[in-house]
Amino acid sequence: MRWLLALAAIAAPLAAADLSSVGPVYFWPMNGALDQYVAEQVTSEGLFAVTIDPARAKTVMTDRIDSKFFEGMTEIFAPEKEAPKAEEDAEEASGSIEDGLAANRPANRPRGNPQGTVFLVDVETRAVLWSVYIGEFDRRPKSLHREAKQVVGELRKGLPNQ
C-alpha cells in the first residue's frame, strides 16, 4: 500500500501543464519557417494571442531548447537595465541605427535539419509547458501548412474544454 501512495505522490507533479493561461505567445524562428505557419494556425483558430513583441510574451514557441535558445532567451527577456550615463549616450549616438540593431539582435536563427519537435516555453520560469513530436518534415508550403495544423491540433488537445 505504501508503494501505491509513493507512486501517486510522484505522478502528481507529472500531470499536464495548465495551458489555459498561456497568454501572448512569441514564435521563435524555427526551421523551414514553421513558426510562421504555426502562428497563422494559432491565430486563425483563436487559441492564443500571438505577439511579435517579445517583451509582451508570456510564452515562447520554439523547435529548439538548446544553449543557443537559452542564450537568446536570456538576452531578449533580460530584466530592464538602468538608463545609460550621458557619455554612453554620446557613444551610442555616434553609431548608425543599423549598427545598434545588429548589436542588439540575438543570433537565434536555427541551423541544420528540422528536428520535428515543437515546445511551448514559459518566459518567466523557462519551464517547458507543452511539447509535441511531429517528425521530420519537408519545407514546401503545403507540407508546412499540414505540419502546422498537426501542431495546433495537438496543442488544442492540451487545452481545457477543447
- Host H or E run for residue 72: helix 67-76
User: What pLDDT is recorded for position 34?
Assistant: 93
| CA–CA dist 53, 51 (Å, integer) | 5
| CA–CA dist 104, 76 (Å, integer) | 9
27: β partners: 61
| CA–CA dist 9, 19 (Å, integer) | 22
Residues 112 and 66: beta-carbon distance below 8 Å: no
| CA–CA dist 159, 12 (Å, integer) | 18
46 φ/ψ sector (left φ>0, alpha ψ -120 to 50, else beta): left
| CA–CA dist 99, 92 (Å, integer) | 9
Residue type, 33: A
| CA–CA dist 104, 99 (Å, integer) | 9
User: What pLDDT is recorded for position 27?
Assistant: 96
pLDDT tens digits along 82-128: 545 545 554 554 444 444 444 444 455 545 555 689 999 999 999 99
pLDDT tens digits along 24-62: 999 999 988 999 999 999 999 999 999 999 999 999 999
User: What pLDDT is recorded for position 22?
Assistant: 85
Surface-to-core class of residue 53, CB atoms within 10 Å of its CB (0-12 exposed, 13-18 middle, 19+ buried): exposed
| CA–CA dist 52, 26 (Å, integer) | 6
The pTM for the full model equals 0.68
